[in-house]
Amino acid sequence: MSDNTVNRLARLRQRMSETGTDLVAVGPSSHMQWLLGLNPHGDERPVMALVTIDNAGVLMPKLNAEAARAQCGSIPFYEWSDADGPQVALTTLLNKLDINRPGLNVVIDEMMRADFAFFLLDQFETPIHRFTQDTVGRLRAEKDAEEHRLLRECARLNDSAFELAFASLRTGMSENDVKSILVDHYHNHGAESAFCIVGFGANSAFPHHHTGTDVLQPEMAVLIDSGCRLNGYPSDMTRCAWYGDRPDPRFTKTADIIETALQSALKVVEPGRACSEIDEAARSVIAASGYGAAFPHRTGHGLGVDVHEPPYITASNNQPLAIGNVFSIEPGIYLTDSFGIRLEDIVYLGPSGPEILSDLSRSVLQITPRY
């Protein structure tokens, strides 16, 4: 068993004790990957890791067991074949865990298939169940020093990819051409693309634009929101530019507003501060400028094994920030049929305060057209 797995199981069991949790069940999701280093093939065949205060085991389809054991051979597998079905293996696992009493307090992986979850819960008499927010989810949100290092390393690789992409802009290039530059840079440095949004002109006004074949022409906005995955952890950043010599005056104005909003949010980041207060700090700047309706999304999201995970920086989330939280601050203004501007940085909340993982300036570039 790896040191990470030993440490994370110990931390989980401490949280289980503090929250009165009898059983934690995680499916073939990022929760399982984070907790056990196990990323098994997932399909309609039930697979789940079950953890109690004293024990643990994995329900595993026999056809996937050998490959999965190579990732995590120290946790016992309870295997089942297609011919026999999973019931006997699950019953054996539950008997081994000795948790067949009524009224169990069970935590269920919110990313687990619903049929897996019901299959497990149907084994118990009157179970009390909830999702992972105060157990695995909370632990994942509080990054340790190694996770901080890996996220920072990935952010720096993303910096160099963005520098290359903006330096390569030429009239007549397509959004897909720019995406290829980013993805190739990731691959050339041992990473893979996690996602990539490139929007030219009015396409930049769609926060989740699908990168396509539209071509770059002078006097266009350019928005790039992209991230890679390196050593199991991702990056995520957004930067903008005006490609041309005569930027739309509204573009310059809204760029300044967005930078002010981001700085306003960053100033109130501290342990114990509610996520909703971070959102309000950014949103109030944009609303006061008259563009409140043009900022339709939350201010940020957590980043870890997943590109989007808790904590979510939104008006409806009063969860307090904690040391080790990693999250985006990404205010935006989107003017339909014209352009959108979003600036995004990833923040690590450390013992001495917030740290931006990227070194790349947020300054909105003005790029003289190149041919």
Question: In the chain, what percentage of residues exceed pLDDT 90?
Answer: 96
How many whole angstroms separate alpha carbon 127 and alpha carbon 102? 7
Q: Mean pLDDT across the stretch 22-32? A: 97
How many whole angstroms separate alpha carbon 172 and alpha carbon 164? 17
**Lowest-confidence pick of 8-17, 95-104, 152-161, 228-237:** 95-104
Report pLDDT for 74: 83
Report pLDDT for 72: 82
Dump strand ranges (E) for 208-325: 220-230, 233-234, 237-243, 300-302, 309-313
Class of domain 3-140: alpha beta
Task: Give the model's confidence band at 329: pLDDT under 50 very low, under 70 low, under 90 confident, else very high.
Answer: very high
Beta carbons within 10 angstroms of residue 172's beta carbon:
9
Task: Give the model's confidence band at 3: pLDDT under 50 very low, under 70 low, under 90 confident, else very high.
Answer: confident
Q: How far apart are the first and last CA of the chain?
A: 56
Describe the chain by its helix, strand, coil percentages, rounded to 5.
35, 25, 40
Report pLDDT for 321: 98
CA max distance for the chain: 73
Report pLDDT for 332: 98
pLDDT at 267 over 80: yes
- The long-range contacts involving 177-180, CB below 8 angstroms and separated by at least 24 positions, are 178/211, 178/224, 179/211, 179/226
CA-nearest of 113, 134, 103 to 24 is 134
Report pLDDT for 82: 96
Cα-only R_g, the chain: 23
pLDDT at 73 over 80: no
The pairing of strands 309-313 and 339-342 is unpaired
Q: Mean pLDDT across the stretch 285-298? A: 98
Report pLDDT for 100: 83
Superfamily the domain 145-367 falls into: Creatinase/methionine aminopeptidase superfamily (3.90.230.10)
**Lowest-confidence pick of 70-84, 124-138, 144-158:** 70-84
pLDDT digits (tens, 9 = 90+) for 206-221: 999 999 999 999 999 9
Q: How confident is the prediction for the chain on average, in pLDDT? A: 97
Q: Mean pLDDT across the stretch 98-125? A: 95
CB 164 within 8 A of CB 181: yes
Task: Write out the residue limits of the CATH 3.90.230.10 domain(s) in the chain.
Answer: 145-367
Task: Write out the residue limits of the CATH 3.40.350.10 domain(s) in the chain.
Answer: 3-140
pLDDT digits (tens, 9 = 90+) for 5-26: 999 999 999 999 999 999 999 9
Please give the order of strands across the beta sheet that includes 309-313. 309-313, 300-302, 326-329, 345-350, 353-356
Question: In the chain, what percentage of residues exceed pLDDT 70?
Answer: 100
